[in-house]
Amino acid sequence: MILEEAKKVIRIEAEALLALAETINGEFERAVRLVLDSKGRVVVTGMGKSGLVGQKIASTMASTGTPAFFLHPAEGIHGDLGMIMKGDVVIAISNSGETEEVVRILPVIKRLGASLISMSGNAASTLAKAGDVFLDISVKEEACPLGLAPTASTTATLAMGDALAVALLLERGFKAEDFALFHPGGALGKKLILTVEELMHAGNAVPLVPADTLMREALFVITAKGLGIAGVTDATGALVGVITDGDLRRALEKGIDIINQPAERLMSRNPKRIRRSELAAKALQRMEEFSITSLFVFDSDNDPRPVGVVHLHDLLKAGIA
């Protein structure tokens, strides 16, 4: 019984979202244009559950290139309406469209010179009629069996807010690099900001040996640099191969006297590479793709001489993985 009720709730809310998609019309496009043409910010307001959803909508917009904040309508009545400026766009949310605290601030919003986008489930409501643009968030039924707790309606409201935020993001040409500016903390920010150049080992820390170097010396370089790898270069300094722990194990299994062999005999050719300007997350992706732990770093795709090396441990320490 419990599982069936849970599935029923999800089905009702899913059906509400599908129905909501069919209501998207020119009013939605007008709402997007209203925000894009605005010289101010987006101010989202709503009471109760609508207010909680409104906070999320404002947060999503703010993180995707549309300056926005949430204004509690009850606090607004007692002075916080001063946060609204001429040129702002207010998104007011009320499923009934008659929420007292929201309705009471509507005249002031107009007097302050802000535009109003009304989000309501009642097209005949005070809120709907007051808006410069009306977005219909009505649902056929709530998932609550009593028909009282906002469930499907809040899901529809959230989806409409996400649709607005994404439409604005696309119209502004917002990119991952822009997104990163607003998310400098945590793993997400690091994946979007840190480049290979910031994490790579460079200069004398790069384990490189000439192709004719005997392995007794190459092993010393591998050990001294502490990355478990050595790049093999030709006379011009171009990278022609790489020696890893795996290459040494395979040579020993074949009975090769590795100590007295030149590095070029044991190396693996065509080592994987990455540009220094690439995101560190791209380096991790390449390592996972080829099941390797290091990548030699180059200034460009056409440059044969490495300028660094980045190791999986560097990515782990930086919180990329």
17-40 pLDDT, tens digit per residue, is: 999 999 999 999 999 999 999 999
- The answer, yes or no, to whether residue 183 has pLDDT greater than 90, is no
Residue 138: closest CA among 72, 93, 171, 205? 93
Residues forming beta bridges with residue 275, ordered by sequence position: 298
- For the sheet containing 294-298, what is the strand order? 201-202, 308-311, 294-298, 273-275
Q: Is 206 helix (H, G, I), strand (E, B) or coil?
A: coil
Q: What is the spatial distance between Cα 170 and Cα 188, in angstroms, rounded to a whole number?
A: 20
Return the pLDDT at 93: 98
Q: Residue 122: phi, psi to the nearest 5?
A: -130, 105
Who contacts 193 (Cβ-Cβ below 8 Å, separation ≥6)?
180, 184
DSSP state of 214: B
Residue type present at position 191: K
Residue 253 is predicted with a pLDDT of 84
What pLDDT is recorded for position 177?
A: 66
pLDDT digits (tens, 9 = 90+) for 223-254: 888 898 999 999 999 999 999 888 888 888 88
221-224-225 Cα angle (round to 5): 85
pLDDT per position as a tens digit, 30-78: 999 999 999 999 999 999 999 999 999 999 999 899 999 999 999 998 9
Res 33: pLDDT = 97
Q: Is the pLDDT of residue 187 over 70?
A: no
C-alpha dist (Å) from residue 280 to 139, 230, 285, 297: 45, 21, 9, 11
- 113-159 pLDDT, tens per residue? 999 999 999 999 999 999 999 999 999 999 888 877 889 999 999 99
Q: Binning pLDDT at 50, 70 and 90, where does residue 181 land?
A: low
Place of tokens 């807010």: 161
**H-type helices in the chain, by residue range?**
2-23, 26-37, 48-63, 73-77, 100-111, 126-130, 152-172, 176-181, 186-193, 196-199, 215-225, 245-253, 263-266, 280-290, 312-317
- List 209's β-bridge partners, or say none: 232
Rounded Cα–Cα distance for residues 279 and 321 (Å): 13
Q: What is the pLDDT of residues 276-311, one digit of tens each?
A: 999 888 999 999 999 999 999 999 988 999 999 999
